[in-house]
Structure 1
Amino acid sequence: MKKQKLALLCAASLITVALTGCRDQAANQLTPTSGQQTISTSVQPAGEPFDYEVDPETFTLTIIKNGVRIPASLGLPKTAVTDLVKEKDSMTWTYPGQVKVSIAKKNNYLDIHFDSIGAEQFQWPSVKAQSYVLPLGEGKIIPADDTNWRTFLDDQSYTWSESFSMDFFALKNDPFSLVYVVTNKFNDEVHFDTSSSLQFQFTHAFPSINKDKSYGFRLYVTGNDPQQMVQPYKSYIEESGKYVTLADKSKENPNIQKLYGAPQIYLWSESILTDHDVQWPKIRPLLSGALGEWLVKLLAGTAEGSDELAQVLKDIAKQNTLDAYQKRVVLGALNQGMKLKGFYSKAVFPNPGSEAQKLMDLGIDKLSEQKLYDLNKLLLKSVLKDAAGDISTWGQADSTDLINDMQKSGIQKAWIGLPNWADGLSNPRMVEAANQAGYLIAPYDSYHSIQEKPDPSWNTAFFPDPSLYDQATIAKKDGSKIAGFLQRGRKLNPTLAMPSVKQRVEGILQDGISYNSWFVDSDATGDIYDDYSPDHPTTQLQDMMARLDRFTYFAKDKHMVVGSEGGNDYASGVIAYAQGIESPVIAWGDPDMRENKNSPYFVGGYYAASGIPERYGKSVPIKPLYEKVYNDPVYALPLYKLVYNNSIITTNHWEWGTYKIKGDEADKMLYSLLYNVPPLYHLNRATWEQEKASILDYLKVWSPFHQQAVSQQMSKFAVLTEDRLVQSAQYGNDLKVIANFSEHEVKVDDDAIPAMSAVIYEGKQRSVFHAADNVKLLARK
């Protein structure tokens, strides 16, 4: 969006008001050159006493503490004001035709409130500081003169609800910081200005469909260490009753405890029939007849089409053997065909057998999805005969056997995500094996986008109710519809989707598939909307509440351990895990990473005929600027963990797993220990064999650490060296980790911390994880 500017009119005199509250005697500062900094284990007060001055004519707000004056907001254009009222602890005034403003003393903070009396939007505050502490994902500290961040943020506008994981920001200055708690997260935008040093403006819009014409802030003064800066927000959340611990959540669903010490693993076992299950010399002649012709015809109506298959069938008719590529195409066609309702053809499957006939007698259109897969497997077996093994063994080497091998290898807990619910319905033995191993297993599900017509390759975007596409999608102010993911289809209004949610979920679960977790895409990203459709106008608040209702349905009604993409904290009261807080989607709009397949930075496509799609499995470098702003520990701060460590388990976005970024594997592992973050892997049988040694070596250290740390608050955080590459975190009273991201050994209190290593202290016990040595165990191409 373009930079918003408001020419405001103002008036009045400077007013000074003293604020009193609890005083923190030790205000540690967090700077790149301050050496060791620690955080007190005692509970930090939510702010310190201060005085302030405000000029209503320009809305210049200055904070005064111990004689030091720091601007909380830069001035607006001078304007005459009306209705100025000054009282002992408050003052109010009006910008005619724009907004009414009130500032009130509330113990140890300023309560700043705006009500529109005509403004469609209002810009305040406009801030400038030495550094900014922002809840971008887990958290960042951004020096105002930092070249990397000024380049990255130049003239960028961020939607508040989507871009910031928590509703506060801090302006770090010497000798104290200013913390803004945002009390209305909706319709806000932050615009970064780098024309001199980095600064930003906060703008709130007042949509016509929203009766609430207000927004505001709580403004606190704190010390300069991260825990002091997050404490006002943490107190605000606790005050609102919205803070729910994992222990509280697990009282209703004990399965949540299966996340403690559990790596998060996407298991790519989509194929019903695999290379292990067929005898190619016997299957080749069958493809030259009715089966091959039928597959070409059947798949012609799908997104992938059948031209590639038709060519392969022509080629293999002239050969005695099939090469690896031809096998992949044939298996892909067979597997895709078995997932279609129209798979049955009397001419192709003249003798389906009694078990298949019983299912067909029920009516193919009336079969559940799971029963449909059962039928189609029986139909294919009736033609393949001894060219394929027993149906009960199909796909098990890459699924059930892999899960059993993980357990036998010592992985006691794991969260397993399936890229599609169909993967479990077509292979219920795999889902049951995960349960028996003590793991959580979840399907990927989404209600964000809707397609007008069904697409087998994107089943989450199709809903049986034909009225939804025209009558339940989100409209912009000009009446046009908001496009769905990848600009396909439309965005579905969540306030109108619950009947379809229940219909889908009941259909998936009706035959007893033993999913015990559920992953709901997008709902915790903050990607929420005002819907201007005349027949169902919806505010962002209503949109968000409908998404929370959706989470509650899975958590309460279906007793699932629920997780989502993102992890923005409005969802923290109900979801148990979030993917994206630690590593978000990186550089979505960079063509070198998303479009240019010849670029060394291309992250890969979404689709693979077999195996793990490159988007998730291909190891790639990222551009130096992205490496700095997304991954450099110098800028990282555990803001989210200092608030929510024992409330929600956060990890990487699934596009950016532990091994995704080439050259960053060691840093990721150290970060995961320091910040108590589950590693995230993408596995199939081949990848498991390549990465097994590295994974098991890491989990021997990480899993018991996380098992203990996740049930406690992060009680200390410290930057131990001037280059900020050695940091420590403490969980509770006795569990501490020091991570050394540097290339040389560092002494901390006479203890040697090896290069690229993490040292864990549990009481008097000390253990060391050497990340550089672990990376050598990877056998990846």
Structure 2
Amino acid sequence: MKKPTFLFILLASVISFSVHSADIQLIQNNQQISIEPDNLQINWHKKNQNLLINQAALAINDQPQHAIQLVQSSDNQARWLLKPSNIEVVAIFNESLNLAFTVNEKTAIKRNKPIKLTWFDLAEQATQTLLNPFNEGMRIPTNNKTWINYLSEEYSESNTTQDLKMPFWTTEQNGLYVSYQLITATDNTLHFTPFKQTSNTLLDMQAAHFFTPLNRSQAFSVQISLGDEPLAGAKEYRKWRINHQQAQPLSAKRIDNPEVKKLIGASHVYLFGRDVLAVEDVLDWWGLKDWYFNQSQFTPSKESIKELKSLHQGQDWLSKYHKRLLVESINQSINNTMPALDHQLGNNGIKEQYQAAQQRKAWLAIQARSYLISPDRWGQAISKDMITNLQKVGLKKLWLGLDNWMPAFYQPEVVEQAKKAGYLVGVYDSYNTAIAPGVNDAWLTAQLPQAMREECAIEKADGNKKKGFRGNGVYLNPSCNRDYVENRIKDVINYGRFNSIFLDVDATAMAREDYSVSSDGMNQTDMLAAFNARMQWIATDQHVLLGSEDGNALTTQGIAFAHGMETVGFGWTDPDMKSNRQSPYYLGAWYPDQKPAFFFQSAQVKEPYKTLLFAPQYKIPLYQTVFHDELINSHHWHSDSLKFNNVQMERDLIAMLYNTPAMVHLSRDEANTINAPRLQALKHYQSGFLPIHKQLWDKALVNFKWLDKQGLLQQTTFSDGSKIIANFSEHAMPLTKSVKEHIPSGSILAVLSNGKTIQWRSATATATK
């Protein structure tokens, strides 16, 4: 091997020496990007415009860096090394700017001390608007103080897997749009702070990536692109998903499972209740009351003894409270007297729960038959009469979701009746949290074996187990003990006769690192893959229509629908919403089981949530631009379409404008007649959504614009040329300056490519006219 010549050594030293003081110039198609390698300040020169893509932000573990060993192999590619961190950077300009950061293999990283790469700092003085998918899409003016305070308080230190629903954001600079897509979407945080100037305050935003012992072999990569419309970032991400075989359109899912056709035009309904008897099942209240207190095998609750036992027919009156208390007491007593039989270790107990349900129903049908209607009509969450009324009111397409599988175990014939009516019948299920016996035995999905609680618990970097939902039990690794999970899912489907499942949490992209021995050290990317694999197995192996929470972009495999994107949870810690029962903003208690006030009680939305999360001027269909023809999304089940009375019109019109389904909660008493308000609401939603979605379910949302300066008249356009226009104002508005036709206040007008024109108005707007 020849020794290097003196000239070669001198040349190399000159390059190495000069790198830190010189900008990198990347050129492609008459555009030029300037990068300062020491601090990653980036400028993009396009025609006569100069965009500040990134301010000087680069730091490793909060320390500034020094760039050496620059190698620029072509006009559009360069690489350099950062000191003292020894992180290598590669920049490639090919239509988009791609940056990749790699940790040196010899660099030591401790479990509890990851390497923090701070790489992005918003050019706040050059930026007018931030478009961010923390939900369907937020349009955030960067000089709006309310938005600045809200993001700083509520979203600072957000992650980019669960909190950011899709791994990109877009900024507007003088009519051009800069989009930042995180190719490495895991192990990132976003930070929001006020940037105070002499005369005003602007929103500032930073982004950081963390290299850990478990992800150190993965480069951190980001793609930066320019566009000329607000949807540019969403369209770029959609294209990327398609090119990387991550997208599966609904049309392909329908080929795999023809049941997808039942989702087209369907409103989504959650049914509440878990016991065998409902108040509607009682014929003789006094006779039932006397019978109950004469059953020696029952142990009535203290409340029922105090409130009911001393009451006598002809002397006292049974109120709604008394009737509900009596039915609840009977259900509880029979559940305690006839529990699900103990099952063998490792068995999931689903068969025993089904047998117990059938035993309770059969015993009551004999012992209390004189006081009750026919047993085939019983049921809290789902009943024969309810399905009949859904059909009578003219509801053709519905997804019916039970929050618990026990109602289906009591009335499997009613599930079959609903399926024959053309409905999808699903059940809420989850394998995210495991709790010990006795903690909350009514939380059926969390009743998992001790072995799973111990072996599958996620271990944090500090060695502690990750506490489960609301601090109960432990969170579980989705790849652990798949055999048990699969067997229980099979049994739930079999005994419940479901043709759909809603699997909670799996599609929220709740990625965590797991340092447990059983996981062999799992990084966030592999955990997302495990969630996707579990969902894909259900859809492929069980042939049911699968839905999940949120439908975040990184966890969509196998699901045909999701709940959460159109109205996300908010204000969890706000005392007026959480605990102040006198407040108009109080969301309600989590009881009674058959009709929790939290889900049914109407409430107002308080500021700033009312404006920031529901005013149409601050919304933009980023998620639907990516996913409209791939998966059907609706509200989070905490907030159905009827929950918030002071923003119902806005929510209704946004759903219609984006072509997403309504969600309405039902309990047995809310479906007693075809004139019940919630059934009529479902009928009204169907009248607009069904015919439009039939045309657009397999079409992409391709354009969005305001038709007025205030953002009160908005239009979406789909890939077949169909257009939907929504009027959020309090007055009728002309469609265009040249056309005299007006669209009424609180309504939408759909002009479809099949020649149909559909006008629909929010019931709230109609009622207040």
Q: How does 1:312-351 map to 2 (within 5 A)?
A: 312-316=307-311, 322-339=318-335, 342-343=338-339
Find the residue that maps to 1:51 and give its secondary structure. strand
Q: How does 1:535-574 map to 2 (within 5 A)?
A: 535-536=518-519, 537-574=521-558
Find the residue that maps to 2:602 and give its secondary structure. coil
Letter in 2 for 1:471: E
| Counterpart-to-counterpart distance in 1, 2:392 and 2:508 | 36
Residue in 1 that maps onto 2:447: 462
How far 1:320 moved relative to its partner? 5.8
Find the residue that maps to 1:559 and give its secondary structure. coil
| Counterpart-to-counterpart distance in 1, 2:611 and 2:241 | 31
Distance verdict in 2 for CA 1:762–1:74, change over 3 Å: same
Identify unmatched segments of 5+ residues in structure 2.
1-18, 108-113, 197-201, 342-347
Distance verdict in 2 for CA 1:366–1:650, change over 3 Å: closer
How far 1:619 moved relative to its partner? 0.8
| Counterpart-to-counterpart distance in 2, 1:365 and 1:627 | 45
Residue in 1 that maps onto 2:303: 308
Whether 2:139 is the aligned partner of 1:141: answer yes
Residue in 1 that maps onto 2:234: 230
Q: How does 1:405-554 map to 2 (within 5 A)?
A: 405-454=389-438, 455-463=440-448, 465-511=449-495, 513-536=496-519, 537-554=521-538
Distance verdict in 2 for CA 1:103–1:327, change over 3 Å: same
| Counterpart-to-counterpart distance in 1, 2:351 and 2:83 | 65
How far 1:173 moved relative to its partner? 0.6
| Counterpart-to-counterpart distance in 1, 2:451 and 2:566 | 38
Letter in 1 for 2:286: P
Identify unmatched segments of 5+ residues in structure 1.
1-9, 21-48, 297-305, 346-363
Identity rate, percent? 26
Distance verdict in 2 for CA 1:75–1:774, change over 3 Å: closer
State whether residues 350 and 492 of structure 2, in contact with CA within 8 Å, keep that contact through their aligned partners in structure 1. Answer: no
Letter in 2 for 1:650: N
| Counterpart-to-counterpart distance in 1, 2:461 and 2:764 | 56
Letter in 1 for 2:268: Q
Moved more, 262-271 or 759-768: 759-768
State whether residues 662 and 685 of structure 2, in contact with CA within 8 Å, keep that contact through their aligned partners in structure 1. Answer: no
Find the residue that maps to 1:112 and give its secondary structure. strand
Match of 1:768 among 759, 762, 765: 759
Residue in 2 that maps onto 1:289: 294
How far 1:139 moved relative to its partner? 1.0
Letter in 1 for 2:81: T
Match of 1:696 among 670, 676, 683: 683
| Counterpart-to-counterpart distance in 1, 2:204 and 2:335 | 53
Residue in 2 that maps onto 1:64: 45
Find the residue that maps to 2:189 and give its secondary structure. strand
| Counterpart-to-counterpart distance in 1, 2:768 and 2:78 | 65
| Counterpart-to-counterpart distance in 2, 1:143 and 1:365 | 53
Distance verdict in 2 for CA 1:132–1:338, change over 3 Å: same
What TM-score, normalized by structure 2, do the two folds share? 0.88
| Counterpart-to-counterpart distance in 1, 2:230 and 2:750 | 22
Q: How does 1:111-130 map to 2 (within 5 A)?
A: 111-117=98-104, 118=107, 120-128=115-123, 129-130=127-128
Distance verdict in 2 for CA 1:565–1:777, change over 3 Å: farther
Residue in 1 that maps onto 2:67: 81
Alpha-carbon deviations, 1:351-391, whole Å to 9, x = none?
xxxxxxxxxxxxx9895322221111222334324223332
Find the residue that maps to 2:120 and give its secondary structure. strand
Whether 2:253 is the aligned partner of 1:249: answer yes
Letter in 2 for 1:638: P
Alpha-carbon deviations, 1:146-169, whole Å to 9, x = none?
122112012522111011111111
State whether residues 269 and 399 of structure 1, in contact with CA within 8 Å, keep that contact through their aligned partners in structure 2. Answer: no
Find the residue that maps to 2:588 and give its secondary structure. coil
Letter in 2 for 1:312: E
| Counterpart-to-counterpart distance in 2, 1:396 and 1:138 | 34
| Counterpart-to-counterpart distance in 1, 2:437 and 2:191 | 38
State whether residues 726 and 741 of structure 1, in contact with CA within 8 Å, keep that contact through their aligned partners in structure 2. Answer: yes
Distance verdict in 2 for CA 1:666–1:542, change over 3 Å: same
| Counterpart-to-counterpart distance in 2, 1:559 and 1:535 | 30
Equivalenced residues, count = 710
Larger RCO: 1 or 2 (CA < 8 Å, sep 6+): 1
| Counterpart-to-counterpart distance in 1, 2:678 and 2:158 | 37
| Counterpart-to-counterpart distance in 1, 2:271 and 2:83 | 60
Q: How does 1:82-231 map to 2 (within 5 A)?
A: 82-88=68-74, 89-117=76-104, 118=107, 120-128=115-123, 129-154=127-152, 156-196=156-196, 197-223=202-228, 225-231=229-235
State whether residues 666 and 775 of structure 1, in contact with CA within 8 Å, keep that contact through their aligned partners in structure 2. Answer: no
What TM-score, normalized by structure 1, do the two folds share? 0.86
Residue in 1 that maps onto 2:20: 11
Find the residue that maps to 2:554 and give its secondary structure. helix
Distance verdict in 2 for CA 1:95–1:315, change over 3 Å: farther
How far 1:240 moved relative to its partner? 0.3
| Counterpart-to-counterpart distance in 1, 2:611 and 2:350 | 54
Letter in 2 for 1:441: V
Find the residue that maps to 1:335 and give its secondary structure. helix
Residue in 2 that maps onto 1:368: 352
Residue in 2 that maps onto 1:6: none
Residue in 1 that maps onto 2:285: 280
| Counterpart-to-counterpart distance in 2, 1:722 and 1:510 | 55
Find the residue that maps to 1:583 and give its secondary structure. coil
Letter in 1 for 2:752: E
Alpha-carbon deviations, 1:73-106, whole Å to 9, x = none?
1113754222222221222122224252433335
